[in-house]
């Protein structure tokens, strides 16, 4: 099976999920970041995976526009959708439903929330300020320190493998 993963990543968490997913999907997999790459002809692929972060309950505008412009391409393809963010538990289901068009979710063989990360060195001043305000009221947000600065990673490997299993099987 030939699969394309089309995603948008602002700070790198969605890119990491897309890369990790490409390693566990069967067949040939091509990664396309909407912010950097030109999207090849979708008719060349058997499966399409769409991925993006959720900010303030929405996927990025460029990704949303791309989905809307390519909906007919999804009709005869195996389709998967993954979302990244730092929400946990039951809220993730609601977040996916609100962020991704319902007709896309209905067509998808796999829909998962894969977790996310906060990389402070990749954020602008306003994003850092908001995160600091939120982290003061959430004791579960524990920053670690690495060679590139402070970060929090909360990726869900179980969800990633479940997603790959659903995409790999007919």
Q: What is the pLDDT of residue 107?
A: 92
Tokens, residue 145: 């320190």
Q: Are 34 and 62 in contact (CB under 8 A)?
A: yes
pLDDT in tens, 46-90: 999 999 998 777 888 999 999 999 989 998 899 999 999 887 767
pTM: predicted TM-score of the whole model, two decimal places: 0.88
Q: Can you list the positions of beta strands (E) in 28-143? A: 28-33, 47-53, 78-84, 110-113, 115-119
Mind listing the pLDDT tens digit for each residue in 84-142? 988 776 777 777 888 888 888 899 999 998 988 888 888 888 888 877 776 665 666 66
């Amino acid at each position: 099976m030939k699969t394309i993963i089309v995603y948008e990543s602002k700070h790198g968490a969605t890119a990491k999920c897309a890369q990790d997913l490409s390693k566990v999907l069967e067949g040939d997999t091509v990664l396309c970041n909407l912010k950097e790459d030109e999207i090849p002809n979708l008719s060349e692929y058997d499966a399409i995976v769409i991925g993006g972060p959720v900010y303030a309950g929405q996927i990025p505008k460029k990704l949303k526009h791309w989905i809307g412009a390519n909906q007919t391409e999804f009709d005869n393809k195996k389709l998967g959708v993954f979302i990244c963010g730092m929400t946990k538990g039951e809220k993730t289901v609601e977040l996916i439903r609100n962020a991704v068009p319902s007709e896309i979710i209905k067509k998808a063989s796999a829909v998962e929330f894969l977790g996310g990360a906060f990389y402070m060195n990749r954020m602008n001043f306003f994003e850092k300020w908001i995160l600091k305000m939120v982290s003061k009221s959430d004791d579960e947000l524990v920053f670690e320190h690495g060679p590139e600065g402070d970060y929090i990673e909360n990726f869900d490997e179980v969800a990633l493998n479940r997603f790959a299993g659903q995409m790999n099987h007919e």
